[in-house]
Amino acid sequence: MNPQRNPLDFSRTAGCAGILSALLLAAWITPAQAQEPAGKDLRLFYSQHCAGCHGADGAAQGAAGKKLKGQDLTDPAWRKGTSDEKMVKVIQKGIFFGLAMPSFKKDLTSTETQRLVTEVIRKSEKGKVIGKD
Ligand code: HEC
């Protein structure tokens, strides 16, 4: 056989390109996958998407919260009178066609919404900033 390298043999360069694209692919996939097992940080999600209206602690006592009339999510009496299902529904659907409160259907799965209610809202306390511990 011809010991000389066949100029048409691209296997070496193809190999390089293959490794390179594998690395690029890995770099592209890894950040998303690394987050998956633990799931979304819902306390962080709250501080980024809900605190503006409901307050850093959930009590809606800040200027913005008061102006927007966000519900005081830390109010024990209100919390007793409402159900997880109702809160989940509101977070998924929003209020008044998304004008008073936006729908978060696109940002949260139903499991995430459920967890946001039981692990974040149900545990919020007046004066305790959510996502800061
Ligand atoms: C643009 C402002 C705004 C944003 C952002 C917002 N809300 Fe609301 N939210 C409101 C308003 C206004 C109400 C209605 C208050 C009322 O009826 O007294 C409300 C009500 C609620 C209620 C009570 C629903 C009920 O049963 O009466 C829950 C729970 C709630 N919001 C959770 C959230 C969560 C969780 C987020 C973030 C993922 C969020 N909200 C983001 C404005 C907002």
State the pLDDT confidence band at 101, using cuts at 50, 70 and 90: very high
What pLDDT, in 10s, does the model give residues 63-92? 777 777 789 999 999 999 999 999 999 999
Verdict on whether the full-model pTM lies above 0.85: no
What pLDDT, in 10s, does the model give residues 12-56? 555 555 555 555 555 555 544 444 445 789 999 999 999 989 999
Distance of CA 42 to CAs 27, 38, 57, 83, 107, Å? 25, 10, 14, 19, 11
Which of 53, 80, 116 maximizes ligand 1 atoms within 8 Å of its Cβ, making it the mutation to test the pocket? 53
| Nearest CA residue ID for atom 41, ligand 1 | 50
- Gap between the Cα atoms of 70 and 112, Å rounded: 21
Domains of the chain with CATH codes: 42-121 (1.10.760.10)
- Gap between the Cα atoms of 95 and 103, Å rounded: 7
Which pLDDT value is given to residue 63? 74
Q: Which atom of ligand 1 is nearest to the CA of 50?
A: 37
Smallest CA-to-CA distance from 65 within 56, 77, 75 is with 56
Q: Is 60 in the pocket of ligand 1 (CB under 6 A)?
A: no
